[in-house]
Chains A and B, each alone.
Chain A
Amino acid sequence: MKRKLAVQIAIIAIAVAFILIGIFSGEATIVLRKARDICLSCIGIG
């Protein structure tokens, strides 16, 4: 059980760290920019 708890905490900590690194490296802005335009390939055009 202790091992499982350690894995759970470790994965959540890594996930939060990844999110923060991503925000500070401008990835969140890329996501917003892409999502604000129609993704033509997603809907089957071009």
Chain B
Amino acid sequence: MKHERKRTIIQFLAAAFFNGYAAGFAKGQIFKGGTKILCVPVLNCYSCPGALGSCPIGSLQAVLGSRNKRFSFYVLGLMMLFGMVLGRLVCGFLCPFGLLQDLLHRIPIKKVKVNPKLDKVLRYVKYAVLLVLVLLLPVLIRNDFDMGETWFCKYLCPAGALEGIPLILANPALQSALGFLFSWKMCVLLIVLISSTLIHRPFCKYLCPLGAFYGLFSKFSLYQMEIDKSKCIGCGKCESVCPMDVKCLKDMNSAECIRCGKCKAQCPVHAIESTFGFNLKKKGE
């Protein structure tokens, strides 16, 4: 079976696993079970009717914005663990919103190549989103009850907007409460979805705070990509197929790499390998 087909199947299975409460879609209700005490490693809104776990970014803001809280050991600890063990493999293989963007990009229309200089600048936006919307604003801007808002979820997260649609469709009480914010979030969602047909994974490249966080661990995560320089013939096929435009030959474990493995599958001399675990070998061994 071709690598991309295998990856797509894993992505679908992961999306189904993280949203396994099928009854929620029919009833227009969310899951209220104990598994929601755990954060899933992916951007998957806990207000999705099928969600069995909590979104780490939503949970992080929820704890930071809680009364008497300014830091979240629990959620940051889980995110660090996910980042260290899997890193951005989560983005490439497990994230339902990544899957959606991958599928949209397969629509056969003319693709857009973002200007490299603009692309380089835009890549930093996701770190600003993580720092400002996720970490700082919920802590710094508090209401009279000493509580902060979930800024990223409220104003930017397209996953929450999308996953909330089945809930709203099945729930007349929620429909009657729709207003400007819903229109705003639908606009954000539409922009992300339309741009996903033109650019590969624009949300992951430019906006996702979870991808930004996991990217910080790319050099150290237990899952690593390696290139055997003695086998490499420098044909550049790895770089030409990379959906994230990573310069594989220069920086195999770039923070932008989502570990999709396209480079490995395309390499004509099998010079690229993925490894998992504590690599105790010295270089060249």
Chain A residues proximal to chain B, CB less than 8 Å: 1, 4-5, 7-9, 11-12, 14-23, 25, 27-32, 34-36, 38-46
Q: Which residue of A lies closest to B37 (CB)?
A: A32
**Chain A proximity mask over B133-153: 1 for CB below 8 Å, otherwise 0:** 000000000000000011001
Q: Which residue of A lies closest to B174 (CB)?
A: A45
Which 9 A-B pairs have CB atoms at the shortest separation, nearest pair first?
Answer: A22-B74, A43-B164, A18-B77, A42-B160, A44-B182, A19-B77, A15-B80, A22-B73, A44-B185
26 residue pairs of the A-B complex, CB under 8 angstroms, read A1-B282, A5-B279, A8-B278, A11-B80, A21-B73, A22-B72, A22-B76, A22-B77, A23-B74, A25-B74, A27-B75, A31-B39, A31-B54, A31-B59, A31-B75, A34-B54, A35-B54, A39-B58, A40-B177, A41-B150, A42-B46, A43-B163, A43-B165, A43-B182, A43-B185, A45-B177
CB of A39 within 8 A of CB of B72, answer: no
The interface residues of chain B lying within 8 Å CB-to-CB of A46 are 177, 179, 181
Q: Which residue of A lies closest to B85 (CB)?
A: A12
The interface residues of chain B lying within 8 Å CB-to-CB of A21 are 73-74, 77
The interface residues of chain A lying within 8 Å CB-to-CB of B246 are none
CB of A45 within 8 A of CB of B36, answer: no
Q: In the bound complex, how far is the Cα of B168 from the Cα of A25, in angstroms?
A: 34
Partner of B47, one of A5, A12, A42: A42
Q: With A14-B80, A43-B47 as known contacts, state yes or no: A27 contacts B167, CB within 8 Å.
A: no
The interface residues of chain B lying within 8 Å CB-to-CB of A19 are 73-74, 77-78, 81
CB of B283 within 8 A of CB of A18, answer: no
CB of B72 within 8 A of CB of A27, answer: yes
Query: CB within 8 Å of A: which of B44-103?
Result: 45-47, 51, 53-54, 58-59, 62-63, 66, 69, 72-78, 80-81, 84-85
CB of A43 within 8 A of CB of B160, answer: yes
> Given contacts A27-B72, A31-B63, could you give 19 more A-B pairs where the C-beta distance is less than 8 Å?
A1-B283, A9-B278, A14-B77, A15-B77, A22-B74, A28-B37, A28-B74, A30-B63, A30-B69, A32-B54, A35-B54, A38-B47, A42-B45, A42-B46, A42-B47, A42-B150, A42-B164, A43-B161, A44-B184
Chain B interface residue count, Cβ-Cβ cutoff 8 angstroms: 61
A10 CB to closest chain B CB, in angstroms? 10
A15 CB to closest chain B CB, in angstroms? 4
Partner of B84, one of A8, A20, A28: A8
Q: Which residue of A lies closest to B281 (CB)?
A: A1
Q: In the bound complex, how far is the Cα of B63 from the Cα of A20, in angstroms?
A: 15
Chain B residues proximal to chain A, CB less than 8 Å: 30, 32, 34, 36-37, 39, 45-47, 51, 53-54, 58-59, 62-63, 66, 69, 72-78, 80-81, 84-85, 149-150, 153-154, 157, 160-161, 163-165, 167-168, 174, 177-179, 181-186, 217, 219-220, 222, 278-283
A33 CB to closest chain B CB, in angstroms? 9
Q: In the bound complex, how far is the Cα of B179 from the Cα of A7, in angstroms?
A: 48
Q: Which residue of A lies closest to B67 (CB)?
A: A30
